[in-house]
Amino acid sequence: MPASTEEAGSPPSREGGGGASPTDRPGPIDAVPVRHPGRYVAVAIIAMLAAMIISSFVTNERWDFPYAFRVMNYTPVLEGLLKGTIIATLGSMAIGITLGVVIGIMRLSDNPVLRVVGFLYTWFFRGVPRLVLVILFGTGIGYLYPTFDIGPLPFSQQLAEWLGLSSDLTLFSLNVNQISSTLIWGIIAMGLSEAAYMAEIARAGIMSVDDGQREAAAAIGMGPGLGMRRVILPQAMRVIIPPTGNETIAMLKDTSLLAYLPLATELFFQTQAIGNRTLKIMPALTAATMWYLVLTTVLMIGQFYLERHFSRGYGATRAQSKSATLRSRLIGLSEGGAK
C-alpha cells in the first residue's frame, strides 16, 4: 500500500532526473529531449548529395572554377559589377522607394486627384514589362526628345514665338542624346518601374498601422505630414521592409536587363561577352552567378539589421484585453456603493 502511493505521486523518471526523492517537491527539469531519427537520415542524404556536387565541381574540368574566379576579377567585369549592377541597384531602389512611398501616400490621400494620379501611375508602370521600359528609355527618349527643355511654362517655345520674343522662355535645356543610352536612363527606367511596386508595399504598410496612432499623433498637435514621418511610417516599416528586401534582390538581378539599353558596363553583359569570346561560356556564367550570390548575401545581412532596428518595442505582447471592460465598470460602481 505505501509502495503504490509512492509510485503514483512521484515523477516517472526518478533515476534519470534530478534524483528527487518522492517526498521532495519537484525540482529543476532535466528531461530527455524527443529524438528525431528522421533528421539523421535527412542529414546523411544531404551530405552525400553535397559531396557528389563538390566532387563534380573538382573533377569535371568543364566547370573550370579557377577560370571562373579569374573572370570574376577582370577589370571590365569589376567595372560592370560596380556601375551596371551595384550603382544601378542602389540608384533605382533609391528612386523606387522614395517615389513609391510618395505614390503610396497619394493613393491613400483624401484628395481624389492625387488618388487617381497614384492609381494611374501604378497601373502604367506595373503594366509595362521592365525590359520594354529599359529599351524605351534607352533608345526611345533620345528619339522623341533630342533636347530636353525645362521652361517656366508648358508650350513656352510656342508662346515665345507668338509673343514675338527672342528668347524661348526656356530655363535651361539638356542635350538628351549626350546622356541617353547611359546608366542614368537605365536607373531612371528601373526606378520608375520599381516605384509602382513599392507604392503598393508602402500602401499596405501604412494601412497596417492602427488608426488610433494617427489620432494620437494628431492629439499631440502633429500635422498630417509630421505624424506620417514620426509615427505612421516608422511603424509601417516593420511591414514594408521584408518585401522591400525581396524587391531589392529582384532589382539586383533585373539590372542584367540594362544590357539592352544598351549598356556595356554591366556585370552580366561583360561575363557573357567574355564567355562568347573565349568560348568558355559556363565558367563565365559561373562567375556572374557567384557575384550575384555574393551581393545577395550582403543585401540579406543588411536586411537583417534593418528589420531588427524597426522592430524596436515589439518584443513583448500586450496583456490587456477588452474583456475586462464590463468587470471594471462594475467594480467602479461597487466602490461607489461602499462609500
Partner 1 sequence: MSSSASGGMPLVHAVNVHKSFGSVEVLKGIDVDVHAGEVVCLLGPSGSGKTTFLRCINQLETIQGGRIWIDGELAGYREKNTKGGRRLYRLKNKEIAAQRREIGMVFQRFNLFPHMTALENVMEGPVKVQRRPKGQMREEAMGLLETVGLGDKSSAYPGQLSGGQQQRVAIARALAMQPKLMLFDEPTSALDPELVGEVLQVMRDLAAQGTTMIVVTHEMAFARDVADRVVFMDGGVVVEQGDPAEVINSPSHKRTQAFLSRLRSEHEQVAKAAADLV
Residue 237 C-beta: closest distance to partner 1, Å: 9
Q: Write the CA distances from 321 to 114, 161, 326, 328, integer angstroms.
A: 39, 72, 11, 12
Q: How far apart are CA 252 and CA 265, in angstroms?
A: 15
Residue 222 C-beta: closest distance to partner 1, Å: 6
Per the rule left: phi > 0, alpha: psi between -120 and 50, beta: everything else, 19 is left
- Cell for 302? 543588411
For residue 96, the SS3 value is: helix
Residue linked to cell 531612371: 188
Residues 306-325 that bind partner 1 (CB under 8 A): 310, 312-320, 322, 324-325
Residue 310 C-beta: closest distance to partner 1, Å: 7
Residue 236 C-beta: closest distance to partner 1, Å: 10
Q: How far apart are CA 41 and CA 39, in angstroms?
A: 5
Nearer to partner 1, 122 or 235 (CB): 235
Q: What is the DSSP letter of 29?
A: -
331 binding partner 1? (CB under 8 A): yes
Which residue in 176, 218, 249, 273 binds partner 1 (CB under 8 A)? 218
153 binding partner 1? (CB under 8 A): no
Which residue in 223, 277, 279, 308 binds partner 1 (CB under 8 A)? 223
Which residue in 212, 277, 279, 308 binds partner 1 (CB under 8 A)? 212
Q: How far apart are CA 192 and CA 136, in angstroms?
A: 13
Q: How far apart are CA 240 and CA 309, in angstroms?
A: 13
Nearer to partner 1, 25 or 339 (CB): 339
213 binding partner 1? (CB under 8 A): yes
Q: How far apart are CA 83 and CA 76, in angstroms?
A: 10
Residues 282-311 that bind partner 1 (CB under 8 A): 310
Reduced 3-state DSSP string for 274-311? HHHHHCCHHHHHHHHHHHHHHHHHHHHHHHHHHHHHHC
Residue 339 C-beta: closest distance to partner 1, Å: 6
Residue 209 C-beta: closest distance to partner 1, Å: 10
Q: What is the DSSP letter of 255?
A: G
Q: Which residues bind to partner 1, rule: CB under 8 A?
A: 210, 212-213, 215-224, 226, 230-231, 234-235, 310, 312-320, 322, 324-325, 327-337, 339
